Amino acid sequence: MRFLQEFFQNVFQQAPAFQNCSNSFAQAHDAEMQSHLGIDTYGNFQLTDAVRPSMDLKIQPTQGYRHEQYRDEESGGSVPVVMAAATREILFPLFIELIQKLGPSVDVVLESSHSHKTSGHVDFYREQIDTPVLISTLLDYEDLILNDGCTGIAVLNPQTPQEVQFDEHKLLIMYGSPLEPFEFLLERNQIRCDEQIKFITEADHVHTSSEDFRSQFEKLRTHLGIDADFGSANQPPPELNS
């Protein structure tokens, strides 16, 4: 029941705009909402505590991946992308497997939307960290990375260039070329390609977080040697178009 406790203690207190939004949550009675937020399993797919889908379930959480193209408006170029959703049981171990494919040394970006005073999120950068050192640190913060709806992380190799992102919605997003090594790992974990799959981000949804998670985020940032002064406010990334 931790999701419900954190949701009612934090989301409604810290984000009053949510209470007034005209979406499926705003139309629900308290009992209906509480019942809906308490559901974390849909078929064979289990959600983390970080996010819940819309009340009307226009998009039901399911496991799978699809291909996209990320278009850079400044350069006019495009980058191939794979977006994937995985059930909770395999999600974090899969993320660790994916970043191991990036090489022995990587850059890291921690993404935070814990502050309700800014739109989008704030990024904190760390360049050139040994991948085994990074993995060891991330394993200590598995609960935060998996269950906090205001924490995201991107790991990249600028030399390739390739990137693996574990975003706030707990989707796995892989950028760059080649993508085949990532796809192999997805398939090995029974995550199948479905170009028609829809993700939880494509309909109403709600995130949850807590002051404890916010404190853990700051500890993770410190353990990775990231100075807060290096953070930069960013708007949400542009939509990926197929």
Nearest C-alpha neighbor of 171 from the set 198, 134, 144, 194:
198
Q: What is the DSSP letter of 200?
A: G
Number of domains forming the structure of the chain: 1
41 part of a folded domain: no
pTM for this model (two decimals): 0.83
Nearest C-alpha neighbor of 91 from the set 37, 154, 45:
45
8 part of a folded domain: no
113 part of a folded domain: yes
3 part of a folded domain: no
Torsion of CA 207, 210, 213, 217, to 10 degrees: 80
What pLDDT does 239 receive?
40
* Other beta carbons within 10 Å of 67: 14
Q: Which residues pair with 174 in a beta bridge?
A: 82, 164
What pLDDT does 32 receive?
74
Below-50 pLDDT ranges, the chain: 1-22, 229-242
What pLDDT does 106 receive?
97
226 part of a folded domain: yes
227 part of a folded domain: yes
What pLDDT does 50 receive?
92
What pLDDT does 1 receive?
40
199 part of a folded domain: yes
What pLDDT does 25 receive?
61
Range(s) of the domain holding residue 126: 64-234
Radius of gyration of the chain (CA): 18
7 part of a folded domain: no
pLDDT digits 0-9 by tens, 222-232: 999 987 544 44
What pLDDT does 27 receive?
61
What pLDDT does 14 receive?
40
What pLDDT does 230 receive?
45
Name the E strands within the chain.
41-42, 45-46, 51-53, 64-71, 78-85, 105-112, 121-130, 151-157, 162-166, 172-176, 205-207, 232-234
pLDDT digits 0-9 by tens, 127-181: 999 999 999 999 999 999 999 999 999 999 999 899 999 999 999 999 998 999 9
